[in-house]
Amino acid sequence: MQGFIKEHLRPLAGSVGLHVVLVGALAIAALRWTSQQPPVELAIQGYLVDGPAKVRPLSEPREAPVEQVPPPVEAVKPPEPEVEPPPERKAEEVAAAERAAAEAREQQLAQERVAQERAAQLAREQAAAEAQAKRKAAEDAERKKAEAAEARRKAEEKAQAEREAKLRAEREADLQRRLAAEEEEGAAAAARAGVMDEYRLMLVQTIERNWIRPPSARAGLECTLYVTQAPGGTVVDVKLGPCNGDQVVRESITTAVYKSSPLPAPRDPRAFERRLEIVFRPKE
Amino acid sequence: MQAMVATRKSRAGATLLALVSLLFTMPGHAQLRLDITQGVRDAVPIAVVPFGGQAEGGSNDIAAVVANDLRMSGRFAPLERRDMVTRPTSGAEIRFEDWRLLNSDFIVVGRVEPDGAGLAVSFELHNVQTGASLLAQRLPSNEKGLRATAHRIADLVFERLTGIPGAFSTRIAYVAVDGKPPAQRYRLIVADADGFNPRTVLESREPIMSPAWSPDGQDLAYVSFEGKASAVYVQRLATGQRSRVSARAGINGAPAWSPDGRGLALTLSRDGNLDIYTLDLRTQTLTRVTSDEAIDTEAEWSKDGQSLFFTSDRAGNAQVYRVRLDDSRRAERVTFTNGYNARPRLSPDGKELAMVTLDRGGYRIAVMDLASRNLRVLTDARQDESPSFAPNGALVIYATREGGRGSLAIASSDGAFQQRLSSDQGDVRDPAWQPFGPRT
């Protein structure tokens, strides 16, 4: 990874630099633009203020389509025809006029019929549209409800997931802490074991240096001393345990222990042990 | 899953460690166990404080005699007098911490007091490190016997601290030669083990050789040429009475006492060649033991009296052999290490032979373990001869030559140390250490 970075440092640096320059230029331009166009700033403010009002309808059942449909009757209604001819015309003219009137009536009736039909049609359509709109609205509402429920559910799920994640994280953290603590404890114990070995070695070497082996201390000898030391290492008591050696050997080992007083102290005071069991078992 | 297992594992480990550390820190129950497998062979530091009731530095200075004996043994390192801060003469006066600071392990104190017509010497031995009293005795003495009393004290201290009886009260016999040929003077001398109180047992213009102590330490057998030819004599020290036990034709030499003191082994050339014989002192019965064409000499009895060790060059060079007295036709070679081994002398316990060995270009004193046949060389001079064990087996006395002049030296039989004995008696040779004899 590091090798990769090193190898591609120059192109990477170039690309990053280029981006920095571009972004910087854009940022400067934007800054200049915004500072030179205060009205736009106002306009942006206005949008921001309008934002919630525009968003609100989205969450409500939609009624706008119904309002937007123009009243069909008014829109389709034809201009009113001239029904009354001028009275000073002749019979033919009257008859023609009557025919014409009849035709006009006919026409009017037809028109009215058509209009009625159209109106009915329109009404039907309107009703259908309304029904559809209602249905749609209901559907929308239903969907919204469902969506809201879904959102709630999702939110709840998310919250639950977050709670669980948090709990998991806490547990994990706790575990890590405990593990760390245990590890620390283990390390401390190990360190103490090291200190212990060192302490033991110091004690053994001190006593061996001070033990002048008498001629009768040969291989096969095994003598135990129970030694009590004070915290400063001062030997306060030496008791002879099992011992197959003669009086001279007993004298010599007891002397060696007293002569070693004060006994060496461990590096870690916790390794100090008041009571020692010292076994003299010389190799030939 | 793996992580879980690992966790569980590490947790088990941690629990174990926790338990261990708990044990570890639990007060009262735990005992730290230590195994001591070696010690040092150092000389034991001991303070022998000048005895009360006598002037320091005289020839009867008891503490000086005791300290010198202990030093001579090689096992003790007596504290120098100038390092002593106080002069306690009884146990009650000892401030042990003072002597601990001086690194002494033990301390001997005592005093000389008038006792009726004579004197009494009281002494005490204490362990400086533990404060324990190890010995406290009162020995009758007199003005002339103070040195002997001092040797007796040294013996008791030595035995109490080593488990080995002290041999400081025994004596040594040796031959001193002074003057130049033809006006030479030979003296057979018996002295205390520390070389003091030399007493001339025999003086002669002719050579005196090979003194040998009887097992009871009362008699000396030796070779004297006083009659112009060699003869073997036996002399009772206490009375000076002596008898010539062998003056046969040719060489009469190298007497050795049988363990029961009834007979001598001798080297005789009466049959034309040097061979080993035994002589019954009461019946004067002479028995030939070896009849080899080679030189057989320097006999030494085994502890059971059933066989003899001797030197023979039957293999071309001097080696030590052993022959059973009831089957004397066959001799078993004992030494194989080195091209020259001679003058065998048995240790008091009968388990070792001291001898002269040719070791790396020098004639040196060595001790061979008879069971293992292992040879350990004790000395490092070029011309050491005539080894003789101290009766406690701890030391070997021998003669060493330097610049044409002989002197006596002592080596510890474990080879740890050696020490020249000063002598103002000219050329000294042929030392023999007196046996304990009947203990009084």
Q: Residue A10 above 90 pLDDT?
A: no
- Lowest-confidence pick of A123-132, B51-60, B175-184, B241-250: A123-132
**How confident is the model over B396-424, as pLDDT tens digits?**
999 998 877 899 999 999 888 888 887 67
What token pair was written down for B45?
A: 């530091």
Q: What is the pLDDT of residue B209?
A: 96
pLDDT of residue A45: 45
Same domain, B275 and B228: yes
Give the pLDDT confidence score for residue B102 in this predicted structure.
95
Q: List residues of B whose CB lies inside 8 A of any A CB.
A: 7, 10-11, 13-14, 17-18, 20-21, 24-25, 27, 30-44, 105, 127, 129-130, 134, 160-164, 394, 414
Domain with residue B275: its CATH number is 2.120.10.30
**In which band, very low, low, confident or very high, does the pLDDT at A39 lie, cut at 50, 70 and 90?**
very low
> B78, B67 in Cβ contact below 8 A?
yes
**pLDDT confidence band for A6 (50 / 70 / 90):** low
- Between CA B351 and CA B367 the distance in angstroms is 10
Q: How confident is the model at residue A72 (pLDDT cuts 50, 70, 90)?
A: very low
Which of these three, B133, B162, B191, is where a domain ends? B162
Closest partner CB to B14 (pick from A186, A238, A258): A186
Is residue B122 domain-shared with residue B176, that is, in the same domain? Answer: no
Going from the C-alpha of B73 to that of each of B66, B80, B107, B170, B356, the distances in angstroms are 11, 17, 17, 13, 21
Q: Which of B101, B130, B162 is the last residue of a domain?
A: B162
pLDDT (0 to 100) of residue A17: 59
Verify that B67 and B182 share a domain, yes or no: no
- Give the span between the Cα atoms of B189 and B166, in whole angstroms: 22
Q: Is A275 in Cβ contact with B32 (below 8 Å)?
A: yes
pLDDT digits (tens, 9 = 90+) for A202-259: 999 999 999 999 988 999 999 999 999 999 999 999 999 999 999 999 999 999 999 9
| pLDDT reported for residue A282 | 93
Handedness of CA B21, B23, B24, B26 (dihedral sign): positive
pLDDT band at A5 (very low <50, low <70, confident <90, very high): low
A144 or B159, which is more confident = B159
What is the per-residue pLDDT for B177?
93
Tokens of B353: 């032979």
Q: Using a CB-CB distance cutoff of 8 angstroms, which residues of chain A are in contact with residue B34?
A: 200, 203-204, 207, 276-279
Q: Could B38 and A208 be called an inter-chain contact, meaning their C-beta atoms sit closer than 8 Å?
A: yes
Residues B300 and B423 occupy one common structural domain: yes
At residue A19 the predicted structure's pLDDT band, cuts being 50, 70 and 90, is low
Among B21, B39, B134, beta carbon nearest to A208: B39
Q: Considering the domain boundaries, does residue B422 fall inside one?
A: yes
Q: Which residue has the higher pLDDT, A26 or A145?
A: A145
Does residue B20 form part of some domain?
Answer: no
B158 and B237 share one domain: no
**Region B292-318: what's the mean pLDDT?**
95
Chain B, nearest residue to A190 by Cα: B17
Which helix H or strand E contains B186, and what residues bound it?
A: strand B185-192
Mean pLDDT of B320-330: 93
Confidence of residue A277 (pLDDT cuts 50, 70, 90): very high
In this prediction, residue B12 carries a pLDDT of 53
- Nearest partner of B286 among B261, B264, B309, B304, judged by Cα: B264
**B383 located within any domain:** yes
Q: What pLDDT is attached to residue A15?
A: 62
| pLDDT (0 to 100) of residue A47 | 45
Output the pLDDT for position A137: 81
- C-alpha B124: how far from chain center: 25
Cα–Cα dist A251/B130, whole Å:
9
Chain B residues inside the 8 Å CB shell of A279 = 33-36
Reported as a pLDDT band with limits 50, 70 and 90, residue A284 is confident
Q: Percentage of chain B with pLDDT > 90? A: 79
Per CB-CB distance under 8 Å, the chain A contacts of B35 are: 204, 279, 281
Nearest residue of B to residue A246, measured between CA atoms: B163
Higher pLDDT, A83 or B281: B281
Q: What are A1's two structure tokens? A: 């990874």
pLDDT band at A112 (very low <50, low <70, confident <90, very high): confident
- Check residues B365 and A123 and name the one with the higher pLDDT: B365
What is the per-residue pLDDT for A49? 43
Reported confidence tier of residue A101, pLDDT bands at 50, 70, 90: confident
- Reported residue count of chain B is 440
Whether residue B36 lies inside any domain: the answer is no
Q: What's the CA gap between B287 and B303, in Å, rounded?
A: 19
Respond yes or no on whether the N-terminal peptide bond of residue B114 is cis (omega within 30° of 0).
no
Q: Is residue B358 part of a domain?
A: yes
CATH number at residue B118: 3.40.50.10070
The continuous run of DSSP H or E covering B401 comes out as: strand B395-402
Count of domains for chain B: 2
In angstroms, how far is the first alpha carbon of chain A from the final one? 63
A255/B11 touch (CB, cutoff 8 Å), yes or no: no
Cβ contact, residue pair A247, B163, below 8 Å: yes
Comparing CA positions, the residue from B363, B23, B434, B422 lying closest to residue B219 is: B434
- Does residue B30 surpass a pLDDT of 80? no
Query: What integer is the mean pLDDT of B13-23?
Result: 49
- Average pLDDT on B330-354 reads 95
Tell me if B29 is assigned to some domain.
Answer: no
Residue A1 predicted with pLDDT over 70 = no
Question: Among A69-78, A210-219, B317-326, B336-345, where is mean pLDDT lowest?
Answer: A69-78
Q: Are A278 and B163 an interchain contact pair (Cβ–Cβ within 8 Å)?
A: no
How close A153 comes to chain B (CA, Å)? 32
- Closest Cα to residue B221, out of B195, B258, B250? B258
Rank A159-173, B119-133, B327-341 by mean pLDDT and report only the highest: B119-133
Distance between CA atoms of residues B34 and A207, nearest Å: 10
Beta bridge partners of B286: B279
* Residue B217: partners with Cβ closer than 8 Å, 6 or more residues away: B170, B434, B435, B436, B437, B438
Choice among A103-107, A209-213, B173-177, B336-340 with the minimum mean pLDDT: A103-107
Range with lowest mean pLDDT among A3-7, A34-38, A127-131, B314-318: A34-38
Q: Which pLDDT does position A270 carry in this prediction?
A: 85
- Together in a domain, B71 and B220: no
**Are B130 and A254 within 8 A, CB to CB?**
yes
Q: What is the pLDDT of residue A64?
A: 45
On average, the pLDDT of chain B sits at 90
User: Which residue in A255, A279, A283 has the most chain B C-beta atoms within 10 A of its own C-beta, making it the best mutation to test that interface?
Assistant: A255
Considering the domain architecture, whether residues B194 and B283 belong to the same structural domain is answered as: yes
- Of chain B, the end-to-end C-alpha distance in Å amounts to 87
- Local structure of residue A89 (DSSP, 8 states): S
Q: Do B11 and A248 touch (CB under 8 A)?
A: no
A14 or B179, higher pLDDT:
B179
Nearest Cβ partner of B130 from A255, A273, A275?
A255
Task: For residues B183 and B237, state if they share a domain.
Answer: yes
Cross-sheet strand order for the sheet of B133-141:
B76-78, B44-48, B106-115, B118-127, B133-141
Q: Are residues B213 and B264 in the same domain?
A: yes
Quick check: B40 and A280 CB within 8 A?
no
Instruction: List pLDDT tens digits, range B51-106.
Output: 999 998 888 999 999 999 999 998 999 999 999 999 999 999 999 999 999 999 99
Q: B114, B143, B162 — which closes off a domain?
A: B162
**Chain A closest-CA separation from residue B115 CA (Å):** 33
Domain hosting residue B344, numbered range: 171-433
Residue B19 belongs to some domain of the structure: no
The percentage of residues in chain B with a pLDDT greater than 70, rounded to a whole number, is 92
Query: Among all residues of chain B, which has the CA nearest to that of A200?
Result: B34
Same domain, B242 and B327: yes
Of the candidate ranges A113-122, A233-242, B40-49, B100-109, the one whose mean pLDDT is the lowest: A113-122
Residues in A touching B11 (Cβ below 8 Å)? 182
Q: Are residues B153 and B239 in the same domain?
A: no
Nearest CA in chain B to A237: B130
Cα distances (Å, whole numbers) of residue B149 to B49, B65, B72, B199: 16, 9, 17, 19
Give me the domains of chain A, ranges plus CATH numbers. 211-280 (3.30.1150.10)
Is B370 within 8 Å of B378 (Cβ atoms)? no
Question: Cα distance from A158 to chain B (closest Cα, Å)?
Answer: 27
Contact residues, chain B, for A238 at CB < 8 Å = 130
For A191-209, what is the mean pLDDT?
90
B184 domain residue, yes or no: yes
Q: B178 and B141 share a domain? A: no
Taking Cα atoms as reference points, which of B249, B299, B292, B246 lies closest to residue B273?
B292
